[in-house]
Amino acid sequence: MSRAAKTECNMLKAQTIGPSTSAYRYPCFPQNYSSLESSRKGTNLHGVSPIIMETTATTIFSKTASIVGSLHSNDFYVLTVIMILSTVGINLERKTTFGKALSAPLVTMGMALITANVGVVPFNSPIYTFINANLVALAVPLLLFDSNLRTLVNDTGTLLLCFIVGAISTIIGTVLTFPLLPLRSLGGNGWKIASALAARHIGGAINFVAVSETLGITGSAVSAAIAADNVVVALYFAMLFYLAVPGDGEEDAKLDEPKEQVQLKTPIDPEDISVDGVGITLPSLSTSMAAASCLVALGKIATAAFCRTGMSSLPLISMFTVIGATIFPTFFSELKITGTTIGVIFMQMFFAASGAAGSIKLVIQQAPSLFLFSGLQVLIHFASLIGIGRLLLGLKTKELYLASNACVGGPTTAAAMAQAKEWDRLVLPALMVGILGYATATPIALVLGQVLQKLPVVVGR
């Protein structure tokens, strides 16, 4: 080192507190070159050691995991997320074209599926168990308060026979489709999902949920089935609307009724979330919940007393509700708006819980086979409907189309089709046969499930 450099270093050294500090801050001392370089080899551009960075990252990850874990174990946190997802799904269906196209259940399940898979909520929670075991049980009677069989049978006319043909066609479609597409990708849930889809194509989402809960179908399978079936149903509706001819025609002119009569005693579709809560009061809320609780308790007691161990109480709860609505129509009809409102909220919570319990990977893997199954099932349903209803029994084509819509879609879509095609006298019967589907689809599908288990499999897909 030159004399001038040594002089400069000594001057700098004199300005520092100690030799060690001077050596670090002013690396002009030859004896500190090696130690300085060795320390610098383990640092990044900001002078931070990778070991320190790794330790810091581990600490942050551990703290984050601890916070997330504490949130996942907090029941009210999970319940809050489920309620928010349910509310957002309802509002998207009511206020956006996108939500209407997908439906509130599918939107809610999709959001819950994503939310769980990014770690916002857990895949398993006591809240999900509570919803499935208790809120679904309460939702079933709440949504069936308007199921007066006497009125449904008396006021539907020939559309009732068409609906029966449609229900039989769904059974035929399921029995013929399952051996060809036994849904092997779902494991032991194959025949269960087939039964639930049959319930969906006779009644509606209420029956799909009831059958799913009764048979113990897992969350991913439920999410995939609803997603795939919604696509099939949308395509099927498009076909029905294309085939249906507007107007009643001359053959029905004498049967037309004044529109004022069509509006009388209009039932409420339990799956129509657009119904405003007119007439909801504190007494109606408390009475509806009390009546639903009584029906659930009665169903659970009867199931424990007369059915095999482990059987779901939902079928008997549904049966007791329909019997009650038929015997005491005035009492239950006054509660139908309140019951529908509360029941829809509980059902939305079920869809959110089912989505949160599912895996995106499993849904993607299972959806294609479910789409094929549902599509073939509906196609055979339509072929059987026309073959039996039109060719064999000579029923009117438009009524067969409407009954098929009520089976596959439900009361709201059937009534909407009747209005769109100007079949005014069929609007009310369409609503009624759709509600009849709600009242009967669950036991039909459960019996059908026992048959599916015994069918020989043709294709091992």
DSSP secondary structure, 120-163, as one string? SS-SS-HHHHHIIIIIHHHHHHHHTTT--HHHHHHSSTHHHHHH
* Confidence bin at 101 (pLDDT 50/70/90): confident
Say yes or no to pLDDT of 253 above 50.
no
Say yes or no to pLDDT of 324 above 50.
yes
Q: Given this model, what pLDDT does residue 451 score?
A: 94
Tokens 């709201």: give the residue: 412
Of 129-143, 245-259, 299-313, the one with minimum mean pLDDT is: 245-259
Of 8-12, 234-238, 304-308, the one with minimum mean pLDDT is: 8-12
Q: Given this model, what pLDDT does residue 449 score?
A: 93
Q: Which two tokens stand for residue 155?
A: 């006021």
Q: Which are the contacts of 38, defined by CB distance < 8 A and separation ≥ 6?
A: none
Q: Given this model, what pLDDT does residue 427 score?
A: 84
Tokens 């989402």: give the residue: 205
Q: Which are the contacts of 429, defined by CB distance < 8 A and separation ≥ 6?
A: 155, 156, 157, 159, 160
Residue 341 C-alpha from the chain's centroid: 17
pTM for the full model? 0.71
User: Which one of 29-43, 216-230, 332-346 scores highest in mean pLDDT?
Assistant: 332-346
Average pLDDT over residues 343-352: 90
The tens digit of pLDDT for each residue in 412-434 reads 788 888 888 888 888 888 888 98
Say yes or no to pLDDT of 378 above 80.
yes
Burial class (CB in 10 A: 0-12, 13-18, 19+), 228: buried
d(CA 25, CA 219): 63
